[in-house]
Structure 1
Amino acid sequence: MEDRRRVENFDMERTIHFLKQELSKQDPMVLGIGVAVAVVLLTIVFLFILARRKNKRNSVLLVGLCDAGKTLLFSRLVHNKYINSYTSIKENSGIYQLTGRKKGALVVIDVPGNDRQRMQFWDRFKNQARGIIFVVDSASFQSELKEVAEFVYTLLSDHIISQHKLSVLIACNKQDMTMAKSSKIIQERLEKEMNTLRVSRAATLGSTDGSSGGEVFLGARGKEFKFSQLSPVIVEFAECSAKGTSDEDGQGELNIVEEWMNRIA
């Protein structure tokens, strides 16, 4: 590979030298050809840079059910401030500045959680995602277990996740509330529910033409479902509180979330 680069660089240098010699003769035809070549090369370089920027995965998607705290988490990360919670009907996007040793930024996109829109927004933004933060309401998790599991299962079985090895964080939010479940309990119950889902979905596919529409089988066949089986995709769990302990005057407890974002950048 190194030898090939040297040959390419040598050829480029010879070409540039030749053009310089010809241009120095001030031949109008050569000048015209030189200008045309320069324009073509600059156009190719510009389109290449534009394509790389367009295809660069530099976004973190905040997903989850309604009222899980996504918008407040978004505001804490992007604006470093508390806002009163509300149900989003369109996405919010902003820049998160990396901290610590890494320099740069990530685009954070808060995706609406209502069941009629969330998959539309997922399909819209998934191709620019570098990572996904699935926000869970730890206090009301038990009553929302089935819906959370179905949403998580649908996302993780999308071929985009495995194809691009997207990083996934299950953010167990609202840990400031008394009835909040721990990340360990949430993980265990999600795994159990998703194992049941996997069986039912496999049966549904078996009763049709067998086409999965690009859906990826989750976990190890013949074994109970575990998030640890999803390699090369890594799903992590973290406890956090976007609200914090004193609302407007306090800071959210998001250290683990921010460490994760800096790690995947």
Structure 2
Amino acid sequence: SLENIVYVEMTENPFEPYIESLRQQLEDQDPVFLIGVVVALAVVVITLFLKYFLTSKTVRSAVLLVGLCDSGKTLLFSRLLSGKYKRTQTSITDSSAPYKAKNDRGSTWTLIDLPGHDSPQTSVPGEVKSAARAIVFVVDSAIFQKEVRDVAEFLYVLVTDTVISRNVPDLLVACNKQDITMAKSAKLIQQQLEKELNTLRVTRSAALSSQDGSVGDFEFSQLPMKVEFLECSARGSKGEDGDADIESLEKSLAKL
């Protein structure tokens, strides 16, 4: 019937002639040539897989504690790892230990406390930057007004670094020592740093350009990485015998 003829015609594969032609061409090719094509394709696939695997964010599992001297990095390092207060002195070498994030996934990062006595350009070694999943930039909120230019200089070196710009780790600015009466708020610290970084951008050939290419005052939202300002106190409001006030930082680390 007419319906059967139409049905048969519709169910026929319209690509069948092309497939048959391709099959015939492959059969006519030299086997050595075909093997070469297969090997070349395999190499391309393996190369792309390795590139993706080696540069994937999953292999960057370090959380870096950086900042100026005496900002409280080492005490924060101790509090995050054990919750305990520990008398500290200015670090001269880096320290590292596994840190288990407070999340349901059971994420474990390598927490690295880097000394702040070196210049910003040498404070973070290249291999450490390459492994960074997140950078916790610790600021002394109590004397921030006095250190704002040095803090901005350090931050500028970090966010314009080629390795960090390529890997875009999360940047958590931990405004520490909030237990001290004269401590500046995270909001004020962010505003002041944006002003200082804008000045540095102007004087250093606009290396901190915005993502959309617009011209204007610098804001942290223009950076390619996620930036968060938070308040904390590694010492805690109750001193050495009490707990640290670092819940906001722990929550941010749990989201990595």
TM-score strictly above 0.5: yes
Matched, 1:222 2:215: yes
Q: Secondary structure at the match of 1:202?
A: coil
CA RMSD of aligned residues (A): 2.3
Question: Which residue is equivalent to 1:77?
Answer: 80
- Residues 248 and 118 of structure 1: is their aligned pair in 2 closer, same or farther, counting only changes over 3 Å? farther
Q: Give the TM-score taking structure 1 as reference length.
A: 0.71
1:226 is matched by which residue type in structure 2?
Answer: E
Question: Which residue is equivalent to 1:189?
Answer: 192
Is the Cα–Cα contact under 8 Å of residues 120 and 157 in structure 2 kept in the other structure?
no
The 5 A counterparts of 1:205-244 are 217-219=208-210, 220-230=213-223, 232-244=224-236
The CA deviation at 1:229 is 1.1
Q: After superposition, what is the alpha-carbon deviation per residue over 1:172-227, rounded to whole angstroms, capped at 9, x for unaligned?
A: 00000000000000000000011001111118xxxxxxxxxxxx534354210000
Bigger Rg, which one: 2
Matched, 1:257 2:246: no
Q: Tell me, which stretches of 5 or more residues in structure 1 are unaligned?
A: 1-47, 204-215
Question: Which residue is equivalent to 2:18?
Answer: none
- Residues 100 and 120 of structure 1: is their aligned pair in 2 closer, same or farther, counting only changes over 3 Å? closer
Alpha-carbon separation, structure 2, partners of 1:120 and 1:246 = 32
Is the Cα–Cα contact under 8 Å of residues 115 and 123 in structure 2 kept in the other structure?
no
The CA deviation at 1:56 is 1.8
2:237 is matched by which residue type in structure 1?
Answer: T
Alpha-carbon separation, structure 2, partners of 1:163 and 1:228 = 17
Alpha-carbon separation, structure 1, partners of 2:208 and 2:102 = 36
Alpha-carbon separation, structure 2, partners of 1:116 and 1:247 = 31
Question: Which residue is equivalent to 2:148?
Answer: 145
Quick check: 134-143 or 154-163, which moved more?
154-163
Question: Which residue is equivalent to 1:22?
Answer: none
Q: Give the TM-score taking structure 2 as reference length.
A: 0.74
What is the identity percentage for the equivalent residue pairs of Structure 1 and Structure 2? Answer: 48
Is the Cα–Cα contact under 8 Å of residues 156 and 218 in structure 1 kept in the other structure?
no
The 5 A counterparts of 1:36-115 are 56-115=59-118
- Residues 66 and 86 of structure 1: is their aligned pair in 2 closer, same or farther, counting only changes over 3 Å? same
Matched, 1:155 2:158: yes
